[in-house]
Chains A and B, each alone.
Chain A
Amino acid sequence: MASGTRTIEVELSTTGLDAHGKPQRRPLVTNDGGSAFEIGAPDSMEPELSGDHMLINIGPQHPATHGVLRLVLELDGETVVRCIPHIGYLHCGFEKIGEYRQYNQIIPWTDREDYLNSIGNNVAFALGAERLFGIEITERCIVLRVIAAELSRIISHLVWLGTTCIDIGAFTPFLWAFQERENVYNLLESWVGARLTTSATRVGGMAADIPAGWMDGLRQFIRTFPVTVDEIDRMLTRNAIWVGRTIGLGVMSPEEAINWGLSGPMLRASGVAYDVRKDFPYLEYETYDFDVPIGTNGDVYDRFLVRMEELRQSVRILQQAADRLPEGPVNIDDPRIILPPKSKATSEMESMIHHFKQVMEGPRPPAGEAYVAVESPKGEKGYYMVSDGTSKPVRWRIRPPSFVNLAAIPKMVEGHLLSDVIAINASIDIVMGEIDR
C-alpha cells in the first residue's frame, strides 16, 4: 500500500490520536458554540477531513470480489467518487490456446472460462462449431442440450444467489441454494461423469446419452426445486434488511443499459426485454413456453427479482423438455465428424484407422466464420470462430457477458457508499474466469 494512504488511515481510524500517534488534548465531542469545550487545543490538532480524498483498494484477494477482481476506489468520506477496476489476474490466454487445438479439443477450455456455467458453455461452443461445419444435430440432442443449458442456468443463478446473500449479510439462503446446486451437480455427474468441468458436448452431438433412469432424477428435481425457490423468496423478497441493502443501488436506465452493452439479467432488470432465446432463437427455444422477466427500476433489487423469476422459468423449460424428449440417436450420422464407438475402435482395423485419423487430423470445417450467441446466465455469450479450412480455428473469440457487464461498474458505483459497492458488484454476477479468460 502506498504510504500516503497509510498516513490517511491513521488519521481517520484512530480517533483521539493525531497523525503522529500523540493523544489529542482536544475533546472529541464538541458543540457548535459551546465554550465549555474550548480547552485551548490548537486547531491544527484536528485532522482535516473535508476535501481529503482517500484511496481504497479492494481485492484482488477479497471474498466479496467473487474471484480476483481488484477495485481501486477514490472515496470522499464514505462516498465513492471514482472507481477504477483492474482485471486480468486470471488471464490464461484461452483464445490463443484455442488456435492450436482442434474443435473438440477446445470444449474442455470452455468449461474453465465461466466455470459456473460449464455445460452451458459446452453447448454454446458446440452450436458455434456446428454452424461453422454446417451440421444439423439430431432432435434428441437438441432437447438434451436444452436440459443441459437450463440446469446450468439454475446452477449459476443459485451460486449468484448464495454468494450475494453472503456479501450482503444473509447466510441461510446460501446454504439452501448450495444444497439445491448439489442436487443439480449430482444429476450432471451421473450423466457425464464430471461435476464442475463437464465437457459434455461434442461437435455434432454429446459425449454421452443420459443413463437409464436419469429422467426420473430430473423429474424429482423439477418437483422439489420450486419449493426451495419459494423458501428463498419468502426469506428475502420482503425482508426489510435485504430490500434496504439492495433497492435503488446501481441504477441503469434502459437506454444506458443498451448503450453500455449490458445483457442478460442486468439488461432485463433495466426493463429491456432482450433474451437471446426469444429474439435470436437457437435449439428451438421458440417452441418452449416460457416468459422473459423484466424489471422496472434497473437496480440491484430488480436484478435479484429477475434472477429469481428466471429460476422458475428454467424449471418450466425443463418440465417441457423432459416431456418431449424424443427417442433416437444423439450424435449425427457422419463419420467425418463423429468418432466410432470405442469398442469398435479397439477391435476392428477399419474403425481403429478411422478413430486414429479423426483424432490426429480432426474434422475440418469449410473456410468461413460464424458468430453464435446464446443466453448464458450472465447474458449474451457469443463464440466467434474463423476457419481457414484446416482442423484448427484461425481465431476463437469468446464474447464474455460478464466482462462487458463489469465494464459498467464505475458508472454504477459512483455516488454510492462504500458498502454498496459490494452489493452492486455482486449484482453483476461476475465470474473472473470468464472475464480474464
Chain B
Amino acid sequence: MTGKFETVSAGSALPANDAPVTPHGIPHRGGAVNPAAAALGASFPGAIVRTEVVWGETTIIVVPGRILEVMQWLHDDPDQRYDFLSDVTAVEYRDLDRPVEVVWHLRSLPFRRFLRIKAQLPRNAPLQVPSVWSIWKSADWIERECYDMFGIRFVGHPDLRRILMWEQYKEGYPLRKDFPLRGRFSRSEQLRQALVQNPEAKYSMEELSIADAFEDLPEDMRRRIGSGERTGE
C-alpha cells in the first residue's frame, strides 16, 4: 500500500479531442517531422548530424559523444518529455564501409510522440557510446544485451556484462556481420568446450563473494576473485 497515488495518463499533455488514429498512406520519405528535431537543432548546435523521416518516423542522428546531454534534455524538457525508453539496439549494415549505428527508440507518453535517435560509430575507433542508464533505468538490461550481441560498450553502465550468452563465452559478438550464422567454432569444438566446463563454477564471482565459500572454490576462480576480478570485465 503506497498511500499517495497519482494516475498518469498517456497523452495528458494534449488537448482532449486530439485522439490518435491509425496512420494511413505513410510516405516512404518525408512527411511530418517530429518537433523535437528543430528544438534539438536550436538547443544543441553541432550535436545533430542530420534528421530524416522514413515511413513517418523521425530519426535524428546525433554525434556519439553528445548522446547523454541530448537524451537528458529530451527527457527533462517540458515540451519534449520523452519519459519512456522503448528500446536500445544497434544496426550493422552488410556494406562494411557504413558505420555501425546505435539506435534508441523513445516515446513521450504525455505527448504521444515517437522518436528515433541514432549515433553512428566509425569503424576505426572502439565501439562505444555513453550509457543512458542514469536517465532511464530500463536501459540496464537492454544495453547489456546490445553489448552482448554487438560488443558496443556503453560507458557509464553500472554492470555491463553479458546477459544472453554466458560469462565464459569466447566466440565474440553474435549479431555482428562477421560472425557466421553457425557460430565461430565447429560443433565438435563447441561440444568439447561445453564438456570441459566446471559444473561447480556456476555462480558468478559477485555471487560467490556473497557466499562464504571462498575456500572451497576451484583454484583458478580463487585466483581470479583474489585479484579483484568481477564478471564480464
Contact = CB atoms under 8 A, between A and B. Distances in A.
B207 to A, nearest CB: 5
Interface string B164-188: 1110000000110001010000000
Nearest to B29: A368
Contacts of B210: 53, 55, 74, 82
Interface in A364-389: 366, 368-371, 373, 380, 382, 384, 386, 388
Contacts of A406: 141
B15 interface: no
B36 to A, nearest CB: 16
Contacts of A72: 203, 207
B145 to A, nearest CB: 8
A286 B212 contact: no
Interface in A215-256: 247-248, 251, 253-256
B116 interface: yes
Given A5-B211, A55-B207, A388-B93, A258 B109 contact: yes
B222 to A, nearest CB: 12
Contact of A371 (B29, B116, B174, B200): B116
A303 to B, nearest CB: 14
Interface in B140-197: 140-142, 145, 149, 162-166, 174-175, 179, 181
A188 to B, nearest CB: 24
Interface in B51-84: 54-55, 57, 59, 83-84
Contacts of A285: 22
A96 B181 contact: yes
B204 A84 contact: yes
Given A88-B165, A271-B5, A279 B211 contact: no
B6 A55 contact: no
- How many interface residues does chain A have, given as a range? 35 or more
B206 to A, nearest CB: 7
Contact of A384 (B10, B103, B149): B103
Interface in B11-47: 11, 19-22, 24-26, 28-29
Contacts of A403: 141-142, 145
A286 B19 contact: yes
Contact of B164 (A3, A87, A131, A253): A87
Given A373-B86, A394-B91, A298 B2 contact: yes
Given A261-B86, A371-B57, A280 B213 contact: no
Contacts of A436: 164
Given A55-B207, A55-B210, A386-B91, A399 B105 contact: yes
A389 to B, nearest CB: 11
Interface in B105-151: 105, 107, 109, 112, 114, 116, 136-142, 145, 149
A24 B83 CA distance: 59
Contacts, number: 199
A368 B86 contact: no
Contacts of A369: 54-55, 57, 59, 91
Nearest to B4: A253
A140 to B, nearest CB: 16
Contacts of A388: 93-95
A282 B22 contact: yes
B5 A297 contact: yes
B105 A281 contact: no
A286 B200 contact: no
A399 B86 contact: yes
- How many interface residues does chain B have, given as a range? 35 or more
Contact of A283 (B22, B59, B145): B22
B9 A273 contact: yes
A407 interface: yes
Nearest to B136: A259
B185 to A, nearest CB: 15
A436 B149 CA distance: 12
Nearest to A251: B2
A136 B86 contact: no
A384 B89 contact: yes
A91 interface: yes
A96 B165 CA distance: 14
Contacts of B83: 258-259
Given A88-B164, A271-B7, A395 B91 contact: yes
Contact of A3 (B9, B149, B216): B216
Contacts of A407: 138, 140-142
Contacts of B149: 95
Which of A298, A366, A371, A386 has the most B CB atoms < 10 Å from its CB?
A371
B217 interface: yes
Nearest to B89: A397
Interface string A390-418: 00001101010001101110010000000
A271 B10 CA distance: 11
Contacts of B84: 258, 261, 274
A404 B145 CA distance: 11
B229 interface: no
Given A279-B112, A281-B21, A394 B6 contact: no
Given A136-B24, A394-B94, A397-B87, 16 more contacts: A4-B214, A88-B163, A247-B1, A251-B2, A253-B5, A254-B6, A261-B138, A262-B138, A278-B10, A280-B20, A382-B87, A388-B93, A394-B92, A394-B93, A399-B87, A406-B141
Closest 4 CB pairs of A and B: A4-B213, A261-B138, A407-B141, A88-B164
15 contacts: A2-B203, A96-B179, A131-B55, A254-B5, A259-B83, A260-B136, A260-B137, A279-B112, A280-B20, A283-B22, A371-B87, A384-B87, A395-B91, A403-B141, A404-B138
Interface of B: 1-2, 5-11, 19-22, 24-26, 28-29, 54-55, 57, 59, 83-87, 89, 91-95, 103, 105, 107, 109, 112, 114, 116, 136-142, 145, 149, 162-166, 174-175, 179, 181, 200, 203-204, 206-208, 210-217
